[in-house]
Structures are given as structure tokens and as C-alpha cells.
Structure 1
Amino acid sequence: MRTIILSIAIRLLIPLFLFFSLYILFRGHNHPGGGFIGGLIGSIGFIFHAMVHGPQHTVNTFFRINFYGYQHQPTQSRSIYLMRMMRVNRWRKRKRHYLERRNRNRGLLHIEPIDLIAAGLFVATTSGMLGLFLQEPFMTARWVSFYLPFLGRLGTPLLFDTGVYLLVMGIVLKITFVMAEE
């Protein structure tokens, strides 16, 4: 379903969904809401984007981090390009293919939904283990002594909610991408 109106609306609504999901996440450790609802709301924008553009375009757009300042990294560095220009006929095809393949994905970090699931489980477990390291029961809440204006007091419940947020978002996106590809 590729309509211009829906694709423009989704481009405008994804930041709104993510902002609102982060608001629900940070609000949740003092009021109703939290990681589960925030993860569901945050994944709605990506689900709509996958419905409009396809799951592979969604992964390429949002879940690949480019460490360079511009969108398309050249496939070869300047020194390799100059060496090729000087000795074009001397290199064998196999070596060129190896160098192009080696430099193609330099600087890209691919984040899969399974990585979000693993990170969420790690963060949620770490928040519970903090109490064990301090000779307290598992999942004992620990709070910092300072207060942040928009977030309130930070502590292990917020860390647990962040883990649940990542876990729910990863599971929903994994299910959506698998179902959209079939």
C-alpha cells in the first residue's frame, strides 16, 4: 500500500509516536504507564512504516546507524581509488572483489529486533541484580539522591522499565517483520 498521503503522514507521525512512548516510559515509574505500554506505542510508528514501505526499507531507514556524517559512504577510500587508477590492469578480479566487499559496510551498525530483545533482557536483569550486589533481595529499588526536572528521581525501577520497553519493542518488531515478509 504505497500512497503518498500515508507515506508523508507516517514520516511526520513516527517522531510523535516515539516522543509519546518515551513520555509514557519516563512517566511510568511514578504513575500508571511504563515500559510495556511505551514499547507498544513506540513500535506502532515502525509498524505503519513497514506497512507502507516494506520491512526491509524500515530496517534500512531506522535500524542501521551510519558512523559517518553523510548518507552514502563511498565503497572505496581515496587511496584505494588512486591505486586502482594507476594499476587497473594489474589487479585480478578476485582481489578487487575482496577489497570492495571489505569496504562496503564499513561504518554501519545493523540493529536487528533480536538485538533489542537481548538488550532489553540484559537491562531488566541488571536492574534486579543491583540489589543482590548490595546484599539486598532481588529487584530491590535503589534511587539516586538528586532530582531531575522532567524525569524525577532516577532509580532501578526506571532501569527495569527501560529494559521492558526495549524488550517489547523488539518482540513486536520481530513479529511484524516476519509476518510482513511472508
Structure 2
Amino acid sequence: MKTVILAVAIRILIPIFIIFSVYTLFRGHNHPGGGFIGGLIGAIAFVFHTMTHGPQQTVDTFLKINLYGYPRQPNQSRSLYLMRMMRVNVWRRRKMAHHPEIKERMIRVEPIYIIATGLLLAAGSGVVGLVFGQPFMHAYWADFYIPIIGKPGTPILFDIGVYLLVIGVVLKITFVMSEE
């Protein structure tokens, strides 16, 4: 179902959903909320976009990353090569993208990779306690305070993992159901 009103509304609502989901994620490790509900709120944006524009357009818009880079020279050190790649992809992307030496490569982020990354983060935050001789999922907190996030620690890593896991699962379900 693609109508002009719905398409315009979705373009306005997607950033609002994403911002609110990130707010809920970071608020949740000290207050009610967290990774699960933040992930569901963030996934709503992708579900609405898929309903409006279809799964292929959603993948093209949100899950494809264009990387630009020089071919690696045989005598070039790895750190120098990585710095040149970073300069092209982050700082001077638009200006250097049309340079004849620079090659473009597109990477598609599959929902299963988002799920795996979230699971790795969530499980990895619990392993930190085991490494330091404490029980699994023992919380470690930093000694400093970040204004919006609060005190960073292993619970926020767990919440970010759950957030990515929920978004990945909902994306996978949405893509499978919309292709049938």
C-alpha cells in the first residue's frame, strides 16, 4: 500500500521513532525501558517503511553501506592504508567519491548479522564478570558520568545487544513476511 500521505508521514515519523528508541535504550539501564522496548520502537520505523515502500527499498535505504577506497599499494603499510580509507569514507566522502582512483564497494547488512552482533554484545557483557573472577553478568561501572547516557558499564552493553537483537529479529520477520 503506497499512498502519498503515508509515504510523507513515514518520512517524518522514522527519525522520531529512531530518536525515541535510542532515548529509551539509554534511559533504560537506570530507569524503566531498555534494550527490548527500545528495539521494538526502533523496529516500528523499519516495519512502517517496509509496508509503505517494500522490502527492497528498505534494504536499499537503510541496510546498504557504500564504501570508497583506493587500491592498496604493495609497499604501503596497513595503518597508512586504513587512514587513507578513513579519510575517504568519513571526512571527504562527497568530494573524493568521483576521483578516478577511488573504487566504490557496496556492503549489504543482513538482519542475521545484526542479530549475531546483538547476541555477541549481550553475551560478551556477561563474560566480563567471568574474566574478573565474578559471577556471569556481574555489572562493572565506569567512574565517570556521560551527560545523556549516564554512567557507562556492562549493563548498557547488554542493553545495546538486546536492542540490536530485537531490531534484527523484527527486520528478518518483516522481510520474510513481506516477500510472500
TM-score, normalised via structure 2 length? 0.81
Instruction: Give the number of aligned pairs.
Output: 153
- Residue identity in the other structure for 1:128: G
Q: Say which one has the larger Rg.
A: 1
Q: Which runs of 4+ in 1 moved over 3 A?
A: none
Give how far 1:78 is off: 4.2
- Residue identity in the other structure for 1:5: I
Q: What is the CA deviation profile of residues 137-181 of structure 1, one whole-angstrom value per residue up to 9, with x for unaligned ones? A: 100000000011111101001100000000000001100110000
- In structure 1, what is the Cα distance between the partners aligned to 2:107 and 2:28? 30
- In structure 2, what is the Cα distance between the partners aligned to 1:33 and 1:47? 21
Q: What is the CA deviation profile of residues 73-129 of structure 1, one whole-angstrom value per residue up to 9, with x for unaligned ones? A: 78xx847xxxxxxxxxxxxxxxxxxxxxxx7xx421210111110000000011001
In the alignment, structure 1 segments of 5+ residues that lack a partner are 80-102
Q: 2:177 aligns with which of 170, 176, 179?
A: 179
- In structure 2, what is the Cα distance between the partners aligned to 1:78 and 1:38? 43
- In structure 1, what is the Cα distance between the partners aligned to 2:172 and 2:62? 14
- In structure 2, what is the Cα distance between the partners aligned to 1:40 and 1:140? 26
Give how far 1:67 is off: 2.3
Q: Indicate the residue corresponding to 1:40 in structure 2.
A: 40
The secondary structure found in structure 2 opposite 1:33 is coil
- In structure 2, what is the Cα distance between the partners aligned to 1:78 and 1:15? 35
- Residue identity in the other structure for 2:60: N
- In structure 1, what is the Cα distance between the partners aligned to 2:100 and 2:146? 47
- In structure 2, what is the Cα distance between the partners aligned to 1:78 and 1:138? 52
Q: Indicate the residue corresponding to 1:126 in structure 2.
A: 124
- Residue identity in the other structure for 1:43: A
- In structure 2, what is the Cα distance between the partners aligned to 1:113 and 1:122? 14
Q: 1:140 aligns with which of 138, 141, 166?
A: 138
User: RMSD value over aligned CA atoms?
Assistant: 1.6
In the alignment, structure 2 segments of 5+ residues that lack a partner are 69-92
Q: Indicate the residue corresponding to 2:85 in structure 1.
A: none
